[in-house]
Structure 1
Amino acid sequence: MTSLILALVGGGVVGLALGGLGGGGSMLAVPALIYLLGFTPAHATTAGLVIVAVTSLAGLLAHARAGRVRWRTGAAFVLAGLPAAAATGALSSRLPAGVLTAAFAALAGIAAWRMLAPRRAADPGGEAPGLAGTAPHENGGAAQPAGPVRSVATGAGLGAITGLLGVGGGFLTVPALVSALAFTMAEAVGTSLLVISGNAMAALVPRLGAAGNLDWAVVAPFTAAAVLGAWDGKRLADRFSGPALQRTFAFALLAVAALMLVDALR
């Protein structure tokens, strides 16, 4: 019963962060599974991919109905990341727990830094970006699409991170779509869910055998709570200012990074 309650609470917090910030919430899923629910790092990253894939697909449907997903360009970006996601997904299960923990701590620290960094520009359309450090723009803005080589490299890098650490990487995907492909912020947030869900499912393929060893009595309610929390995240964002939410979440990530780094160095 205690594990079920912790799973529901942890999933709800992850979903609220995803819905309220447009990304980054999955950074809390893996630490919650390790430190609250007793998963090993390898099982936690696999379970994290399940949670990320299902939650992202649920969010993708909502954004697709609003016309905020650029399917053709987003699919090309996904294809660039699929081989890397599958390769690092297979590699992850073979790495020592300490290496995975230290890598996750470093990524959490980078995510926190990006969220605390000052915004570079304001959206002319008045829409606040979901993650700090991005530069939203409209047609005719300063951002220009990157070349195909950079776009492919960026997609592959995002896929590699998703496969290795079991996170969606929304805090990286949204800025990448804005800067590399010149998406508007609304399109980047919606399309990032396509990229994240595609990479997560690709990374799960080489881990299908390990997925059978997961404690589904914990993973299933955690995932369901994350989906429900993501739907309510927008209401949270409407009630509180975006910068305040980002700062709170960033400091939480810094605490997670410090905890995991100390654990890795033991």
Structure 2
Amino acid sequence: MSTALILALVAGAVVGLVLGGLGGGGSVLAVPAMIYLLGFSPLAATTASLLVVTVTSLSGLLAHAREGNVRWRLGALFAAAGVPPALLGGAMAGRIPEPVLTAAFSVIAGLAAWRMLRPGSLPRQGVRPARAAAAGAGLGAVTGVLGVGGGFLAVPALTGVLGLRMKSAVGTSLLVIVINSLAALVTRGHTADGLDWAVLAPFTGAAILAAWDGKRLAAKLPADRLQRLFAYVLLAVAAFMLLDALI
């Protein structure tokens, strides 16, 4: 077994555990793993991340749907606002210089970590259509440009802006992630030609399997402890990527 294959399996498992345990955040680790462990370019890494996140989130969505944790209509409306920005962002991604793409990704990762360290900062305020549309559009833009599913942004938005309970927010966020990621991939098709499927396929498979373990792990361990641990790891990754982009 080659070193690249082992790294792909390990990194994919970590991404799946995070996505299954926290309902988001896996793609924020997938991109740096693909760049620094598997040798992908930033553009290829963000495209590959979208592929991994789409398939893994779809698997998780089916599991949450069986438990009744998906608000289909609300999630579809929220995602609809993000589809045009996701399409536009996907088309623009190939024109952004790689250092800028890496720096932008590190900033988003840092913001996600900061948000996770403040889990109670968004109160439930009920459904506000304008805010919901703005949140959905912003999430779509981030997905299209940076190749992240956006669960770390979708879950707080669904709880704070739309007033969903956490379980419903996690399940519904997976629906939003799948829709936005597919939209972004439509305009990124030409960037998938050079992907190394020999490592991307096992990476995706490991992520799918580990996502189920992450869901079971989340049921046994305090969610706030898992979230804080992930946030600190994410902060370190964001700082490293920012330094790499600037130096």
Structure 1-normalised TM-score? 0.89
The partner residue of 1:202 within 179, 183, 187 is 183
Q: Deviations over 1:14-53 (max 9, x none)?
A: 0001111121121100000000000000000000000110
Partners of 2:67 and 2:223 in 1: how far apart? 21
- Which sections of structure 2, spanning at least 5 residues, go unmatched? none
Q: Say which SS state the counterpart of residue 45 (structure 2) adopts.
A: helix
- Return closer, same or farther for 1:184/1:258 CA change in 2, 3 Å cut-off: same
Equivalent positions of 1:66-215 (< 5 A) are 66-117=67-118, 119-120=119-120, 133-135=121-123, 143-146=125-128, 148-215=129-196
Q: 1:13/1:134 Cα in 2 relative to 1: closer, same or farther (>3 Å)?
A: farther
Q: Deviations over 1:194-247 (max 9, x none)?
A: 000100010001111221211111111111111111000023223432222112
Runs of 4+ in 1 over 4 A off after TM superposition: none
Distance in structure 2 (CA, Å) of the matches to 1:238 and 1:70: 21
CA distance in 1, matches of 2:83, 2:61: 18
Deviation (angstroms), 1:134: 4.8
Indicate the SS of the match to 2:95: coil
Correspondence for 2:239: 258
1:73 deviates by 1.5
How much identity, in percent, do the aligned residues show? 64
Structure 1's unaligned 5+ residue stretches are 121-132, 136-141
Return the alpha-carbon distance in structure 2 between the equivalents of residues 227 and 248 of structure 1.
22
TM-superposition CA deviations, 1:99-143 (whole Å, max 9, x none) = 1110111011111111112x43xxxxxxxxxxxx454xxxxxx53
What amino acid does structure 2 have at the position aligned with 1:47? A
Q: Which residue of 2 aligns with 1:128?
A: none
Deviations 1:171-210 (A, max 9, x none): 1101111222222222111110000010001000111122
Which residue matches 1:44? 45
| 3-state secondary structure, aligned to 1:213 | coil
TM-score by length of 2: 0.96
Per-residue CA shift, 1:39-78, capped at 9, x if unaligned? 0000000000001100110000001111111111111111
CA RMSD of aligned residues (A): 1.2
Q: Distance in 2 between matches of 1:240 and 1:134?
A: 23
Report how many aligned residue pairs link the two structures. 246
Between the aligned partners of 1:77 and 1:238, the Cα distance in structure 2 is: 27
* Counterpart residue type for residue 134 of structure 2: A
User: Does the residue aligned with 2:81 lie in a helix, a strand or coil?
Assistant: helix
Q: SS of the residue aligned with 1:143?
A: coil
Aligned equivalent of 1:124: none
| Residue 67 to residue 239, structure 1, CA distance change in 2 (3 Å) | closer
Structure 2 counterpart SS, 1:243: helix
For 1:72, give the aligned amino acid: R
- Structure-1 residue corresponding to 2:66: 65
